[in-house]
Amino acid sequence: MSQFIRRSFQSSIFSLLKGSLPRSDRQRKRLTIVIAAVILSIPLLSIAKVYNAEEYIHPVTPAKEHAKLSFVIAKQLRYQHYRHMVLDDDLSSTVFDAYLKSLDPNRTFFLAQDIKSFEKFRFLIDNDFRRGELKNAFSTFNLYQKRHAERLVYTLNLLENNYHKLDFNKNEELVIEREELPWPANEEQQNQLTRQQLKNVIISFKLAGKDDKEIQELLIKRYKNQLNRIKQTNNEDAFRIYINALAESYDPHTQYFSPRVSENFDIQMSLSLEGIGAMLQSEDGYTKVKRLVPAGPAEKAGQLKAGDRIVGVAQGAAGEMVDVIGWRLDDVVQLIRGKKGTTVRLELIPQKSKDEHKTKTIQIVRNTVKLEEQAAKKEIIEVTENGIKQKIGIIDIPAFYIDFKAAQAGDPDYKSTTRDVKKLINELKQENIDGLIVDLRNNGGGSLQEVNTLVGLFIKSGPTVQIKAADGRIAQLNDESDEIIYQGPLAVLVNRLSASASEIFAGAIQDYNRGIIIGNQTFGKGTVQALQQLEQGQIKLTHAKFYRVSGDSTQNLGVIPDIIFPALYDKDDIGESSLPEALPWDKVKNSEFQHYPAFSSLFPALKTQHLKRSKTDPDFLYIQETVVRIDKKKDQKVLSLNFESRQKEYNESRQEQLEIENKRRIAKGEKPFKNIKELDDEDDILGLNKDHDDEEDEDDKKDSDSRTFLLESANILMDYIQLKQNSLVHK
């Protein structure tokens, strides 16, 4: 029919051009039909929009103050940073690689020929910083903006005009992590990669139950928003990315804050004022949750985790979800912050998810974080073994806090970690506890003064931590009091999110042989930062390093527990060792201190009894099996782009999850779920979101099972008490 219309239209137009009209009524009627058909087709053809990258690109140039600022920052790093590095060709090469990685971490936007053209800058960066020269840096940034816009335009044109041509039956695979792969050799290779990445996104949405129309509309909106963000990019954004490539080549905690960000220097902590209570950072174009503020709205809600990436923000229960991929961190923060009592919805990529487009949506009611809500809390757990019942006291310390204002004002009742814990210990002693566990899981640190005095509650007197400055001088903090508040059996429970002051406390208790350390290898943040004002903005600079009294650094390695539990957080993703250019672990001379009698001879028996219990405890087995299967997925390097294959993998994974869950329920005497729907419905009752994949469900369950670790820690401490008593009897 279309060929007939085309031939007839051509014939009629030819006749019109010759000045003749169809003679017969039949011919005139046919011409009318043909012209009407063509006219009706014109609006349909115009719907297919074609995007042009040039509309969204505007090259940026450095401001006058940027030249001076780059010189000043380079000089400060050279002479004031803990890591003494000369700004030479070697460092220039490191900054060059870091800059390209910050722009294009997944090697998607730049072409191989672009990288080749940049190579002439590799060993010039040190000279550029000395002269305050930014031309090379900005030309690289501008080409990145152009390439980024081209990729978004290509994707949008695929979505608008060729969505129906995408073949989901073809056996293709997409490499998930491209950090070590070559950049695309040419535009043809790049187009193929972009098409595969788009197919992966669409498959993920299909698996989530969305139809083609919904997917198409959602993605067109997402990528148009990203294009519009490119138009809003300014020279301060370009300068910040470049200067931080230099700063973070010294260590991951050294950072430049632009004037806009400096208005609220600590974006993360400002969220704890009236927001969700989360510390955020920008990483590879995403807004990533660094950690949760203790007792904050997010921690209380229990659905946001460290390592999650925020891809969308919406206001209220029904507000439109705004895609924030590629946004500046401060812009994302402005969306998340809001008045106390209001609701914000967040679309997340969970920390464990290998597929970046399997998301879940949560909602959090904004609130303020009160100091008293961060305070230490106590409870008692009763454990029984071999007919012996013992009381184990628990003190949960979410942060090392002190009310400086109240203390300076002379308030005799000012709150601090040490004062609160001292009071709680005395209350627990009144209840005749047999042992004490200090729970430091998820404690990101805080006041150095408080960790020093807290250690003093458990030892007679002596050093608690060593601090080495950039000039090599070592200072030492000491507990000067001989008073010991608690002398009984002690354990410290830690995990991967126990950092800084938590590591100082756990390390001191371990070095003094004062107690057992239980849990997971800690975060490994053993560095100290200070904030320095600049003419424009601020710089946070690492100037010192923590060392245990044994001489071991807490940096990078953290504290290794005596009894290790299954890791709920992947140390390749969370922790100091996962960060590029992290300062290394090292040692200094040990402090002089009087440690307690060693009890390491009890460790083999403690581990044996722990393993015996963990092999039969349903909750512990569930955690172990869940961690094992997620760790297997971590090794997955490619994703199939065949929808049937992906659907099969997805269904098999969900079924495996159901089997693990039912195994636990049966062992505990509970009724097993008949199918995945029953499991999802149970999650809804618990407040979990069922519109996400099995990995996310497991993350939520694993955190709810952290009680299992606390109970097992109590059992381990009871074992220690009994073993120690037996060893004394035999002596």
The question of whether 525 is a catalytic residue gets the answer: yes
Residue 607 within a domain: no
Same domain? For 106 and 32 the reply is no
Instruction: Note whether residue 329 is domain-resident.
Output: yes
| R_g over Cα of the chain | 31
Q: Is 420 a catalytic residue?
A: no
The DSSP secondary-structure symbol of 356 reads T
Q: In the predicted model, is pLDDT for residue 23 greater than 70? A: no
End position of a domain, from candidates 365, 381, 416: 365
Looking at the structure, do residues 491 and 630 belong to the same domain, yes or no?
Answer: no
Q: Are residues 348 and 385 in the same domain?
A: no
Helix, strand or coil for residue 345?
Answer: strand
Domain with residue 581: its CATH number is 3.90.226.10
Beta carbons within 8 Å of 19's beta carbon, 6+ residues apart: none
CB neighbourhood size of 309 (10 A): 21
546 half-sphere exposure, CB direction, 13 A CA radius: 30
Single out the catalytic residue among 70, 102, 500, 553: 500
Condensed to tens digits (0 to 9), the pLDDT of residues 376-412 reads 999 999 998 778 889 999 999 999 988 888 888 888 8
How far apart, in whole angstroms, are the C-alpha atoms of residue 626 and residue 619? 11
Residue listed under structure tokens 């690289």: 140
Q: Write the burial class of residue 431 (CB in 10 Å: 0-12 exposed, 13-18 middle, 19+ buried).
A: exposed
State whether 584 and 522 are in the same domain: yes
Among 365, 397, 423, which residue terminates a domain? Answer: 365
Catalytic-role residue among 422, 525, 701, 702: 525
Interval 27-37 mean pLDDT: 52
Question: At 575, which amino acid appears?
Answer: G
- According to DSSP, residue 674 is labeled S
Number of continuous H segments (helices) and E segments (strands) in the chain: 24, 19
Alpha carbons 282 and 160: distance in angstroms, whole number: 30
Beta strands in 121-235 (DSSP E): 173-175
Q: What is the largest CA-CA distance in the chain?
A: 124
Estimate the crossing angle of helix 135-161 against helix 212-232, to 10 degrees: 160
pLDDT of residue 55: 86
Burial of residue 543, with CB atoms counted within 10 A of its CB: 0-12 exposed, 13-18 middle, 19 or more buried: middle
* Same domain for 205 and 190: yes
In a domain, residue 167? The reply is yes
State how far the Cα of 452 lies from the Cα of 582, in Å rounded to an integer: 25
Question: Nearest Cα to 52, choosing from 146, 188, 189?
Answer: 146
511 and 596 in contact (C-beta within 8 Å)? no
Amino acid (one-letter) located at 655? Q
Beta bridge partners of 365: 343
Helix 706-730 and helix 618-634: axis angle, to 10°? 120
Instruction: Please give the structure tokens belonging to residue 626.
Output: 């869940």
Amino acid found at 633: K
Residue carrying structure tokens 């957080």: 569
Stretch (H or E) spanning 540: strand 538-547
What confidence category does residue 209 fall into, taking pLDDT thresholds of 50, 70 and 90?
Answer: confident
Q: What is the pLDDT of residues 436-463, one digit of tens each?
A: 999 999 999 989 999 999 999 999 999 9
CA–CA dist 396, 309 (Å, integer)? 27
Per this entry, what is the length of the chain? Answer: 731
- Give the integer Cα–Cα distance in Å for 610 and 612: 5
**Domain-embedded: residue 731:** no
Our answer to whether residue 439 is catalytic in this structure is no
Q: Are residues 549 and 420 in the same domain?
A: yes
Count the helix, strand and coil residues of the chain and give each as a percent rounded to the nearest 5: 45, 15, 35
Which range of 65-69, 352-356, 652-656 scores highest in mean pLDDT? It is 65-69
Indicate whether 583 pLDDT > 50: yes
Tally of domains in the chain: 5
Q: Are residues 644 and 660 in the same domain?
A: yes
**Range of the structural domain that residue 20 is part of:** 2-47
pLDDT value, residue 686:
46
Could you give the C-alpha distances from 27 to 13, 23, 31, 608, 669, in angstroms and in order?
13, 7, 6, 97, 84
Tell whether 612 is covered by a domain. no
Query: For 244-268, what is each residue's pLDDT tens digit?
Result: 999 999 999 999 988 776 654 443 3
pLDDT by residue (tens digit) across 311-337? 899 999 889 888 888 787 878 888 888
| Domain's final residue, options 223, 247, 271 | 247
Same domain, 447 and 414: yes
What lies within 8 Å, CB to CB, of 75 at 6+ separation is none
Residue 605 belongs to some domain of the structure: no
- 550 and 436 assigned to the same domain: yes
The verdict on 184 and 234 lying in the same domain is yes
Measure the CA angle with vertex 271, ends 269 and 274; round to 5°.
125
DSSP summary character for residue 197: H
The per-residue pLDDT of the chain, averaged, comes to 86
Instruction: Name, in order, each residue with C-beta under 8 angstroms of 266's C-beta and a sequence gap of 6 or more.
Output: none
* 127 domain residue, yes or no: yes
242 and 264 share one domain: no
Q: Is residue 720 part of a domain?
A: no
Say if CB 650 and CB 207 are below 8 A apart.
Answer: yes
Asked if residue 65 and residue 6 are part of one domain, the reply reads no
Per the structure block, which two tokens stand in for 396? 């949960």
Which one is catalytic: 355, 479, 511, 694? Answer: 511
